[in-house]
Structure 1
Amino acid sequence: MINKRINITQKNFLLFLYIVILGLFGPVVYWVSNHNTQLPFTGKAEKNPIQKRMSIGEKILVKANNDAAKQEGITAFAGGDYVLAIEKFQSALKRVRNDPETRIYLNNAIAATTESPFRIGVSVPIGGNLNVAQEILRGVAQSQDKINRNGGVGGKLMMVEIANDDNNPEVAQQVAQKFVRDQKILAVVGHNDSNASIAAAPIYQDGGLVMITPTSSAETLTAMGNHIFRATPSTRNLADTLANYAVNVAGSENVAMCVDSDSQVSVSFKENFTWAVYNYGGKIAPFDCDLAAADFSPEEIPSQAISLGADTLLLAPSVRKVKKALEIASDNDDRLTLLGNHSLNTYSTLKDGQNDVSGMVLSVPWYQKAIARNSFIVNAQEFWGGGVNWRTAMAYDATQTVSQAIASGAERQNLQQTLANPEFSTQGATSEISFLPSGDRNLQGGLVKIKPGKKSGTGYDFVPLNMDQIIEAAPKPSPKGATTNPRVKSK
């Protein structure tokens, strides 16, 4: 009987203790489970899913370039055997010389054998647009190789951590959070798509980590904070250059436009191009052509534009809608003069567009100028076995910018101040890199025309136009025209 009473008393005590604990911690559990709150990063990679998308050499992200030697290098790197990793990565590059991921991992392995290397991050759309991702990685890899071959920065070699964000804004935010939490990351080169960059920018800004995008040109991006920079010109500069050509060189009188309403960069290009065309004395056709529309029908678009009096058609897709833009070009059948934005400056435009895009003029942030023995272009030929486009050049410039800022003594917490200094400048792929107070690069961009050629291997090439002559010959917009901006001011 006594034992039975003791058991009852013990049960009552345990029940009382349970109620007390529930009362103390129950509200906390409820609040956490009902709020979108992220718990602090524990530092354990295996418990952090975004880590599967990131690597400094311990995993292959670009599965298309996976051969035996590269895999052996990855295994050695993950196990801390950097000497063997170097040997295997070198062997892999002999087989596939234009693989930028392997080149970065090789340089990372070399840096890992030295004392106190420094680290930057790069975020690219490996699962969203592999060609674009590799174009950006080639620029980063070429810059890293140059920096490390010259002894690094202050005797410290550069390591690059690669992240795959798929051009997905939500994933880009997770990548940004990971980079911000990792105090070893001094700056980030990324992201590619403007939608991804705009989504991630507030996280970098709040975390005090500099982000330099090599490719995002949407006008609103750099207004999101003083830690946000871009190595590429903004859409305002790119659109103005193309509008100048359209009205004053090509003689376009009425331009219809096709854009991707889901893309910040596409919408931004449309707004700035509209403003510039009116400024130069041209007109924009009242034409609604949305590449993101559910009822998109490419075969009807050229005829509809012509019926509205258009003589020119601007195709301004995001990188995700390049294929749809090429479908319109196929149905155009040379009826309308074709113009394109910088998103169309891709290998797939030449390969898939062929004669349908022959004669199209595109705005581009950069093109290979005929500068004798330019080190960037010469090294690009040596590294990758061919020419490179603006994404590679701008990624190279972004990486060079970070290294120069660090070389001047800047650390993570004061890197922004160094880049924002009006006196800051460094040499880029073919021109000097400096930033406006907005964080935008002080660069105008240029134009290329698609013509038959042999350099790309597709039968067609992007051929630079002489912009100096074009701009000199073209009339300048009058101040009076600047008061007739057709854009909505509040946007």
Structure 2
Amino acid sequence: MNSILRVKLLKLIFLSFIVFIVISCAENSPINGDAISERITFGEKSLANPEEVRPERERGINSIANKNYDRAFRTLTNYLESTPNDPEARIFLNNLEVEKSKKPYHVIAVSMPISSNLNASLEVLRGVAHAQYDWNFSRSGGEGMLKIAIADDDDNDFNNGTKIVEEVATELSKRQEILGVVGHYSSDTSLATANIYKDYQLVSISLSTSVELTNYSPYFFRTVPNDQAAAKALAKYAQTELNSVKAVVFYNSDSKYSKSLSQEFISEIGRRNIILREHPDCDLSTWSKNPEDWRETATQVLNRAKDSANVLMLAPTTGYLDRDLEILHVNQGNLPVLGGDEVYSAKTLEKGRDSAVKMIVAIAWDIEVNEAGSDFPERSRKLWGTSSVNWRTITAYDAVQALGKAIEKQTQPTREGVREELSSNFSTPGALRAVKFLDSGDYDGDIQLVEVVKIGDGYDFVPLKR
């Protein structure tokens, strides 16, 4: 073979290799149309797989995937009788009943960070599943059942500079049958998706609280009060309990929610009352990645503030909760502690224990405070076989009820019609009281303060006695 042919052959081999690599990367990339579709389900696949393998659950979902709906219905019904506290499976069964009924239905979606924050996502899905069940099977009159798509948006995870949540929101928006979205969970993901939904004229009802989202988009609503309301309630409590508030505020600067809540709290009590105002260690995102260093960092910060501070304010996102728990352990109840709703977690009770006792947390709802006159708490306990229903479940329930009502009020429901209904002196019964929105899209409701108390050998959040 002469040298010219050899060079041409080598070039051809090289180019073929490059093409192979490019195609392989495209096929294996986590962000493409097929991969995003895998993050959305009506029941043909599970996104919230339990740690313990449940054969009956798997058989039911596989039957849906194989379009054997009668078998899927029987299998999931049996599974939920023995394991009722599984909201994803409940939504799948609800969807099967919609198909089985042959009645008209409409589609909405719920998008949560299932793969990165499973526990909070399950709390939200319980509210969605319960609301779907009530809407489809417990109300009298009205047409149009609700079928629900579940999406896993991975919260803040990125791929090649693009937020996965943006890809999920775009895919949901392109599916024209979807008339509304319950989501997203965090302020960062809500901000990342609000303009996408606006472009597609699709309403989202969020559980996020950043004040940056107030008046952000005519298609954005939420069923939780914003951070200003939470900050005001916490500041008022501190000012009532202390002669002069001198606070150390812990937050993480990589979160819109955390920055919003901490800044609103500082505005409420006044910057003169902030200790270590510019200290970098008050920003939890600057701490070492090594958990073994956190106790030392927390000790150093509290030692600097011990002669002047009289209250601690914790405004973390979920990913930084363990660092805040180190602060609680170092503090050991010496200074009063306030917290935002991300602190309202089973982990706080399990790991904080005695060091968390007397901490005051601002949340949207507490079921013990608001259950008078409502049968929702009892119905919820009966459906799930547990009393662990919290503010995330309640606000998600309200979001589904609001979308259902906005759809029902239209003769021929459209996305734009949903927005118009929610924006026009809207009101509908929710879990515990009427769901209403301000002109800004914010929820028209109050904040509830709860306190960590020791009960027997355990710990719980209970309504603050005033």
TM range (shorter): 0.7 to 0.9
Shift of 1:106: 0.5
| Structure-1 separation of matches of 2:245 and 2:46 | 51
Partner of 1:51 in structure 2? 37
Q: Confirm or deny that 1:300 pairs with 2:300.
A: yes
Pairing partner for 2:258 from 249, 254, 266 = 266
What amino acid sits opposite 1:460 in the alignment? Y
The correspondence of residues 215-230 of structure 1 with structure 2, limited to 5 A, is 215-230=207-222
Shift of 1:375: 2.2
Partner of 1:62 in structure 2? 48
- What SS does structure 2 have at the residue aligned with 1:381? helix
After superposition, give the CA deviation of every residue in 1:457-479 in whole Å (9 maximum; x if it has no partner). Answer: x700101024xx5xxxxxxxxxx
Shift of 1:387: 3.0
- What SS does structure 1 have at the residue aligned with 2:460? strand
What amino acid sits opposite 2:300 in the alignment? E
Partner of 2:342 in structure 1? 343
Q: Confirm or deny that 1:240 pairs with 2:232.
A: yes
Shift of 1:271: 1.1
- What SS does structure 2 have at the residue aligned with 1:209? coil
| Structure-1 separation of matches of 2:37 and 2:349 | 35
Partner of 1:428 in structure 2? 430
Aligned residues: 417
Shift of 1:210: 0.1
Shift of 1:250: 4.7
In structure 2, relative to structure 1, the CA distance for the partners of 1:314 and 1:446 (3 Å cut) is same
Contact 2:398 2:435 in 1 (8 A): yes
Pairing partner for 1:168 from 156, 169, 172 = 156
Partner of 2:416 in structure 1? 413
The correspondence of residues 363-378 of structure 1 with structure 2, limited to 5 A, is 363-368=362-367, 369=369, 371-372=371-372, 374-378=374-378
Partner of 1:87 in structure 2? 74
Contact 1:252 1:312 in 2 (8 A): no
Contact 1:153 1:403 in 2 (8 A): no
| Structure-2 separation of matches of 1:204 and 1:371 | 34
Contact 1:302 1:336 in 2 (8 A): no
Partner of 2:320 in structure 1? 321
After superposition, give the CA deviation of every residue in 1:80-137 in whole Å (9 maximum; x if it has no partner). Answer: 2222211111122123211100110000111112233211110111111111010000
- What SS does structure 2 have at the residue aligned with 1:386? coil
- What SS does structure 2 have at the residue aligned with 1:59? coil
| Structure-2 separation of matches of 1:139 and 1:168 | 23
After superposition, give the CA deviation of every residue in 1:230-258 in whole Å (9 maximum; x if it has no partner). Answer: 11000001110111001113545211100
What amino acid sits opposite 1:436 in the alignment? L
Q: Confirm or deny that 1:352 pairs with 2:367.
A: no
Q: Confirm or deny that 1:283 pairs with 2:273.
A: yes
| Structure-1 separation of matches of 2:33 and 2:152 | 18
What amino acid sits opposite 2:274 in the alignment? I
Q: Structure 1 stretch 297-306 or stretch 355-364: which is displaced more?
A: 297-306
Partner of 1:404 in structure 2? 405
What TM-score comes out, normalization by structure 2 length? 0.85
| Structure-2 separation of matches of 1:251 and 1:159 | 54
- What SS does structure 2 have at the residue aligned with 1:48? helix
Larger Rg: 1
- What SS does structure 1 have at the residue aligned with 2:437? coil
In structure 2, relative to structure 1, the CA distance for the partners of 1:339 and 1:270 (3 Å cut) is same
Pairing partner for 1:107 from 89, 94, 97 = 94
| Structure-2 separation of matches of 1:322 and 1:312 | 18
Q: Structure 1 stretch 328-337 or stretch 59-68: which is displaced more?
A: 59-68
Q: Structure 1 stretch 82-91 or stretch 438-447: which is displaced more?
A: 82-91
Structure 1: which 4+ aligned runs deviate by more than 4 Å? Answer: none
Partner of 1:379 in structure 2? 379
Pairing partner for 1:203 from 196, 203, 206 = 196
Q: Structure 1 stretch 99-108 or stretch 221-230: which is displaced more?
A: 221-230
| Structure-2 separation of matches of 1:222 and 1:92 | 42
Contact 2:142 2:408 in 1 (8 A): yes
Contact 2:144 2:408 in 1 (8 A): no
| Structure-2 separation of matches of 1:82 and 1:285 | 61
Contact 1:427 1:433 in 2 (8 A): yes
- What SS does structure 2 have at the residue aligned with 1:303? helix
Pairing partner for 1:145 from 133, 146, 171 = 133
CA RMSD of aligned residues (A): 2.2
* Matched-pair identity in %: 33
Pairing partner for 1:446 from 443, 448, 453 = 448
Q: Structure 1 stretch 149-158 or stretch 343-352: which is displaced more?
A: 149-158
Contact 1:54 1:163 in 2 (8 A): yes
What amino acid sits opposite 2:406 in the alignment? A
What amino acid sits opposite 1:210 in the alignment? V
Q: Confirm or deny that 1:132 pairs with 2:120.
A: yes
Contact 2:407 2:417 in 1 (8 A): no
Partner of 1:98 in structure 2? 85
Contact 2:370 2:432 in 1 (8 A): no
Q: Structure 1 stretch 215-224 or stretch 440-449: which is displaced more?
A: 215-224
What amino acid sits opposite 1:237 in the alignment? A
What amino acid sits opposite 2:188 in the alignment? N
| Structure-1 separation of matches of 2:447 and 2:45 | 36
What amino acid sits opposite 1:197 in the alignment? S
